[in-house]
Structure 1
Amino acid sequence: MLTLLEQLDKGTLWHSPGGIHPPELKHLSNQTPAAKLPLAPQYIVPVPQVGEQAILLVNVGDKVLKGQVLTQGKGFSYLPVHAPTSGEVIAVETRPSNHASSLPVMSCIIRPDGNDTWTELTPATFTELSNSQILARIKDAGIAGMGGAAFPSHIKLNPASEIDLVIINGVECEPYITADDCLMREYNEQIIEGIAIIHALLTPERIIIAIEDNKPQAASAMKAAIGQAETCGLLVPGCVRVTQIPTKYPSGGEKQLIQIITGKEVPSGTIPAQLGIVVHNVGTAFAIKQAVLDGKPLVERLVTITGERVARPGNYWLAIGMPIDAALEKTGFNPQLQQKVIVGGPMMGYSLPNLAVPVLKGTNCLLAPSDNEIAADAEEKACIRCGECAVACPALLLPQQLFWHAKAEEYDKAASFNLKDCIECGCCSYVCPSDIPLVEYYRVAKSAIRLETEEKLQAEKAKQRFETRLQRLEDEKLAREAKAKEAADKRKAAMKSSDKNAVAEAMARIAAKKAAQTAMASGESSVVDTASAPKASSTDKQSAVAAAIARAKAKKAALAGLDATTSEAPATLDATRAEPTELDDKKAKVAAAVARAKAKKAALAANSNDAAPDSSSTGSTSVDISTEENEATIKAEPVVAEVDDKKAKVAAAVARAKAKKAALAAKSDENPAAESINSETLDSQAPVTEIGVAEAAITPADDKKAKIAAAVAKAKAKAAQKRAEQEQQED
């Protein structure tokens, strides 16, 4: 059994189901060579043409050159749009689209300058480009399928599966259209160069150029170009072949052509690349050559302008964006009442409600038929269930079932009968004896299904967004709760630690107070009973007491030998004031002060007994006593104030009272009437007497020192009182 490649080499063909043989009427346009029309007054460039999400790169008033990129975008199927000629952008607005609905689409309006100046091109040789660079050039040139579908070519040239067979479609089976026939006859060498680029990208085992047998000149021209390319080494000998197939409509359909060439049927829902087959149009191969080797983007294409209402029918190079009414006008279009202009052929084309629409990349024919060529729209009659539509269907569908469901708007049931596999070839409408426009019903049903699918997709996306939002809100709520819980745990931990610290601090303060109270109690006991001072366990206390006793004895001896005069008081005050500064311990200072006071009392008592008969000596003695008492009081108060201000004041008051009693006792020896003064009177007058004696005894030199010492004592007492109040507040 022969392999597929062997059968292809032998020219074996397979039968394609369905199909019809309508009048060809190709002689109207294939008798003259391709020509170029003059520039139009303006060009309408739709944005975008292939793909979506395009951004216009020019503004109104900008100057553009032919081939300049006008759009930028992203997406799988996006193709850039280029300026069809040089000129100025005069508007960016919505214009009617080249569609049966004539819906408005955003368009860039360019007014040509008449020079048709190209932008800077970058030609290249075939050998210096890699496959990725070739694909990039094809995409940047905006090349789409030129057979009518306008599918991006760079996608078909970079398939995911391995390609064994490439079919170059030159069938052009629809009546009136001869653009591909003219291109193969006049530009066969450029087409072969484009086929060589396709071969380099896909590396198939065979490339078949399929041409209908009603185009013998085109087939001969392509065979000659293949031989020349094999001779110069551009093609591998035997790799590219021309196959002529029988003339039948719609043998030019992609799936039908594959079935005729290979005998394989492309399953529903799949693409030919999954079978290892790729189909490209001859016009696409020509555009690929111009993009890769010449650096030219797709800005024009060959279009058949034909029909009896056209004075000069033929094939013309039309810039993409040229208004159709301008193209028809330049070819001698002579319209009649209710004139129809059809884009495409009479079988698969559509009539335009507005002629001021642009030529697109998929526009291959403009047909302006007369009433003799195309009959008026007949009235639709009831289906007689003849079954002719099913026999003529090349896709082996059931057109009658599809019609019933489409008419009843039961689009889901129509979809269950594989409505998507309908190629809208029009064979069923052509053979229908009831003049039912079956293809129109199918197109409406396809549009409704497509719209419903988009709505479901949008609803599903909205549902996903809603669910995502709910999930996000729930996550944020949980995050907030977790954060609040974490903060609460931190606060609890901080409060526990602070409570522990507060308790510890309070315990420390209580212990410090107890220690201070114990120290103060020991100090009071030393003031009340000086005899207990030598019994202290501390070595510092014992040494301080011993020093105080020694000083007291020295004072006794000094006082016994000195004359009791007031002039000696300042020296005594200075001596006694300087001595206590040598003591470091507070309690030792208090004990020393008490000892000195008692020593002075004893010395003064002895002096008073000796000086009693002399009144002057008595006065001086009183002054000396008061001076010594004040000195003792001044020395004792600063020391005691550091321990406790209140207790220091009490001790000073006791000392002053004892001094007063001693002074009064001395006076009583001199004045017996003083004995009648009771103790209450002495107590009430004691402070006054003390102040008076002190004022008389202290000299101006000592007054300043005494005031300073008193101020220091008061400041220390206030500081001690403030500390005590702060501790009480903290507790």
Structure 2
Amino acid sequence: MLSLLEQIDSGTLWQSPGGIHPPQIKSLSNTRPIARLPLAQEYVIPVPQLGEQAILAVNIGDLVKKGTPLTQGQSATYLAVHSPTSGILVAVEERASNHASGLPVLSCIIQADGLDTWSLLDSHQDFQPLSNAEMLTRIQAAGIAGLGGAAFPTHIKLNPVSDIELLIINGIECEPYITSDDRLMREYSHDILTGVSIIQQLIGPKRIIFAVEDNKPDAIKAIKKALKRHPINSAQIRVTAVPTKYPSGGEKQLIQMLTGQEVPSGAIPAQLGMLVQNVGTVFAIKEAVLDGKPLIERVVTITGERATTPGNYWLPIGTPIEHVLSLSQTPKKPPQHIIIGGPMMGYILPQASAPIIKGTNCLLLPSDNEMLVEQQEKPCIRCGECAQVCPALLLPQQLFWHAQAKEYDKAASYNLQDCIECGCCSYVCPSDIPLVEYYRVAKSALREQSKDKQEADLAKQRFDARTQRLEEEKTAREAKQQQAASRRKANVTNKDNDVIAAAMARIKAKKDSSPSTQEITAENTAIAHTELAQKTDKKAQIAAALARAKAKKAQMATALNTDITSPEKAQLNANEGAITHIPVTDSPIVDKKAKIAAAVARAKAKKAQMATAQNTDITSPEKTQLNASEGSIAHIPVIDSPIVDKKAKIAAAVAKAKAKKSQMATALNTDITSPEKPQLNASEGSQRSITQTPVIDSPIVDKKAKVAAAVARAKAKKAQTTAAMQPQDRVTTENQTESSSEQTPVTDSLSIERPVLDKKAKIAAAVAKAKAKKAQAQQENKD
């Protein structure tokens, strides 16, 4: 089985589906060489015509020369536009477009100066020293686009991603009336082959096919003749005559006819290793790379029965069509319609003020005979003729229904984009339905939807980017806040640690400088021993005082030479202050005994004060026992001297009272131990009863009364002092006599409140006074 290249070398051709054979009226314009028309006064250059948006490179009022770039851009798809002649840029404004819609587009308005002066051109004698990148840059800077009608940026097409094995130069020009490529191949075949050589260096194809329709024999001869003279490797180039059939000039249809391969829907020929270039584009590549000329003019066929001088002309890009019509149409019969392109794929131009653009290859000025009578559109009869002639193997009927119902999405699902708008379906339709017009409207609607969707996607991307940016900023702020909080926490922690460490250091230093626990314990023990020694010394002093008191008592007893243990002995009761019958022999001895009793009383008072201050129970086994008969003092724990002093004062007062009583008894020199003697029964603050006492002498009775009153006052004072003491501090004193077994019952005087004791003392004093008065009265009666 032969390979594809071998089949190509052998001249094998394949049949393409569909297609029609409309009448060819090319002789009307291809009989004359390509000519030029006089310059127009004003040129309108749309910006941008193709590619990415650009910015204006000149300012209004600037003087521009022929070939000066009017725009500049950096995008890969950017295509520059240039000044078609020298003149002044007078305005940048919207003008009518060269489109079926006639919508205005932004355009540069140049007022020609008539000199047609070129700008400085960067020309080269040979392209081979140039690199591919340099050649592509020059092609892009020249603003070259496909001149076959699609107007796709050429520099992108010549820089394919995949390897190109087959290069096809399209010279078919299947559209009726159009002969611009035919005349170009005839007159500029050598330049076209030079452009093919540049493309060959750029993409390095294995085979090159120069395809020309067989109804152009002069063009085929011109190309073959140029191959013989051109240095290009003729072994790799094959000139193939393609049968005349419309639309065999379509890119995909031409590939299928030459190779038998079908380009898939949505794919491009480069994916199959093939590249197709129009002969007009190849010529423009040569002028851009070698001559440095930008694409500022092209060959345009002016034809039709209303054209006075039909033919092909070099028309600058931006030339107003009305200027062309003023030079080429019949003045008496102005055209009713101006068709841009051929009768099959062209469109009627709404306004003659629109300019020539890069994709304009024909101005058709038809007469009434050439124009079909406009027929009213009739309902589709579903004959299927449109499907049979469709070169793209589509279903025109389905596309029409969805386009008519404005169901553009469904029309797109039937591969609407693959329609090349050849017009075969409309040409054969018996119902006179302008199918191509419906398809164009549907494609335009889909483009608008795609544009809106693209803008929406861009807006969504911007919104998402903004949202992401805000989130990132928020995250960054939170991170900064966390870092700041961490730093603050670390600083606070460090400060706290420093403070704690400093405190610990101070404690440690203080601990090191202070005595140890053992030293403190030893010191405390020493202090305790010292206090104990002081207490022991104090006890020893008390014991010594008691011993001295006992010695004094013994001396007193010896001096008196009396038995003080008799029932009539003196009983000193410190708690009650009661004085029993004390036989007094001598006044000095009585005074000495009184002093001893006073000393004992002072000791008791000190003990009582000490017990009150320490809030202790002095009725414990360690309590003080005052034995008035013996004058002995038991163990007395002394705590505080002020309390002892107070009790001593009380005891002293009692002793003084007793001494006064003894003196009174001595003065009376009477036996007061008789049953009528006054008996002072001191049983814990109880009311004292005084029995009948015989009174001998009035002065004596008065003195006794005074003594009784003094005793009563002493008891009252003692009661007050005892009531002032706390109950837990009271002292119960048991007085025992040494010689008698009788005991004086003592009640707890502290159980009586102070007001009661005061009252009883007063009553006792009053009773004593009353008795004294009574005794005095009885004595006076006896006298």
**TM-score interval w.r.t. the shorter chain?**
0.5 to 0.7
**Structure 2: distance between partners of 1:126 and 1:408:** 55
CA offsets 1:680-720 (integer angstroms, 9 cap, x no match): xxxxxxxxxxxxxxxxxxxxxxxxxxxxxxxxxxxxxxxxx
Note closer, same or farther for the CA distance 1:349–1:506 as it changes in structure 2 (3 Å cut).
same
Please give the residue correspondences for 1:227-626 in structure 2 after superposition, counting only pairs within 5 Å: 227-229=228-230, 234-334=231-331, 339-502=336-499
Q: Quote the RMSD (CA, aligned, Å).
A: 2.2
| Structure 1 counterpart of 2:576 | none
Change beyond 3 A, Cα 1:466–1:61: closer
Partner of 2:100: 100
Mean CA deviation greater in 410-419 or 336-345: 336-345
**What does the per-residue CA deviation read over 1:628-666, in whole Å, with 9 as the maximum and x for residues that have no partner?**
xxxxxxxxxxxxxxxxxxxxxxxxxxxxxxxxxxxxxxx
1:79 aligns with 2:76: no
| Paired AA for residue 252 in structure 1 | G
2:335–2:365: 8 Å Cα contact kept in structure 1? no
Distance 1:238 1:509, change over 3 A: closer
Amino acid at match of 1:433: P
Rounded to whole Å, the distance in 1 between the matches of 2:70 and 2:441 is 34
2:186 is the alignment partner of 1:189: no
Q: Is the 8 A contact 1:53 1:74 kept in 2?
A: no
Q: How does 1:55-94 map to 2 (within 5 A)?
A: 55-94=55-94
Q: CA deviation at 1:237?
A: 3.0
SS in 1 for 2:234: coil
Tell me how far apart the structure 1 counterparts of residues 451 and 290 of structure 2 sit (CA, whole Å).
Answer: 41
Q: Distance in 2 between matches of 1:477 and 1:291?
A: 54
> Structure 2 vs 1, CA of residues 472 and 130 (structure 1 numbering), >3 Å: closer, same or farther?
closer
Give percent identity, aligned residues only.
65
Q: Which amino acid aligns with 1:171?
A: I
Q: For this pair of structures, how many residues does the alignment match?
A: 514
1:104 and 1:488 map into 2 onto residues whose CA distance is 62
C-alpha separation between the residues in 2 aligned to 1:127 and 1:471?
A: 51
The 1-side partners of 2:247 and 2:93 are apart by 38
Q: Determine the C-alpha separation between the residues in 2 that align with 1:347 and 1:444.
A: 17
CA separation of 1:9 and 1:496: change in aligned 2, threshold 3 A? closer
Aligned partners of 1:126, 1:381: CA distance in 2, in Å? 58
Does the aligned pair in 2 maintain the 1:150–1:361 contact within 8 Å? yes
Q: Which moved more, 1:249-258 or 1:132-141?
A: 132-141
Alpha-carbon separation, structure 2, partners of 1:119 and 1:480: 58
Contact 2:167 2:208 in 1 (8 A): yes
In structure 1, the gaps of 5 or more residues are 516-731
Distance (Å, rounded) in 2 between the aligned partners of 1:170 and 1:500: 92
Question: Quick check: 1:109 aligned with 2:109?
Answer: yes
- Judge which range, 361-370 or 456-465, deviates more: 456-465
Letter in 1 for 2:433: I
Q: 1:334 Cα deviation (Å)?
A: 3.8
> For residues 129 and 369 of structure 1, what CA distance do their matches in structure 2 show?
47
Q: Give the aligned residue type for 2:147.
A: M
- Counterpart residue number, 1:226: 227
> 1-side partners of 2:215 and 2:119: how far apart?
40
Q: Deviation of residue 227 (structure 1)?
A: 1.1
On the 8 A contact 1:20/1:249 being kept in 2, the answer is yes
Q: Aligned pair in 2 of structure 1 residues 510, 132: CA closer, same or farther (>3 Å)?
A: closer
Change (3 A) 1:500 1:82: same
- The residue identity in structure 2 corresponding to 1:429 is S
Whether the 8 Å contact between 2:306 and 2:335 is mirrored in structure 1 is no
Query: How far is 1:112 from its partner?
Result: 1.1
Contact 2:335 2:366 (C-alpha < 8 Å) held by counterparts: no
Q: Which residue does the alignment assign to 1:47? A: 47
- Cα pair 2:306 2:334 within 8 Å, conserved: no
Give the AA of the match of 1:16.
S
Displacement of 1:219 after TM fit?
0.7
Q: Displacement of 1:254 after TM fit?
A: 0.3
Q: C-alpha displacement at 1:454, in angstroms?
A: 2.2
SS of residue paired to 1:441: helix
SS in 2 for 1:110: strand
SS in 2 for 1:489: helix
Q: How big is the shift at 1:242?
A: 1.0
Corresponding letter in the other structure for 2:397: Q
Cα distance change of structure 1 residues 412 and 395 upon mapping to structure 2, 3 Å threshold: same
Q: Would you say the 8 A contact 1:310–1:334 is kept in 2?
A: no
Bigger drift between 334-343 and 260-269 goes to: 334-343
Deviation per residue, 1:501-544 (Å, 9 max, x gap): 456778999999999xxxxxxxxxxxxxxxxxxxxxxxxxxxxx
Q: What is the deviation of 1:500?
A: 4.6
Q: Which amino acid aligns with 1:189?
A: H
Rounded Cα–Cα distance in structure 2 between residues aligned with 1:448 and 1:226: 47
**Matches for 1:587-666 after TM superposition, within 5 Å:** none
Question: Contact between 1:173 and 1:252, CA under 8 Å: does it hold in 2?
Answer: yes
C-alpha separation between the residues in 1 aligned to 2:432 and 2:55?
Answer: 45
Q: Which amino acid aligns with 2:359?
A: G
**How many angstroms apart in 2 are the aligned matches of 1:155 and 1:475?**
38
Give 1:482 deviation, angstroms: 2.7
Which consecutive unaligned segments of at least 5 residues does structure 2 have?
Answer: 513-783
User: What residue identity is the alignment partner of 2:173?
Assistant: E
Change (3 A) 1:251 1:32: same
Supply the distance in 1 between the matched residues of 2:10 and 2:509 (Cα, whole angstroms).
Answer: 118
Higher Cα Rg: structure 1 or 2? 2
Cα contact 2:184–2:280 (8 A) shared by 1: yes
Structure 1 residues 132 and 508 mapped into 2: Cα distance closer, same or farther (>3 Å)?
closer
Helix, strand or coil for the counterpart of 1:238? helix
Deviation, 1:412, is 1.4
Flag the structure with higher helix content: 1
SS, match of residue 235 in structure 2: coil
Structure-2 separation of matches of 1:78 and 1:335: 44
* Deviation, structure 1 residue 466: 2.5
Q: What is aligned with 2:204?
A: 203
Taking the aligned partners of 2:235 and 2:479, their CA distance within structure 1 comes to 75
Give 1:467 shift.
Answer: 3.0
Distance 2:162 2:509 in 1: 91
Q: CA deviation at 1:135?
A: 1.5
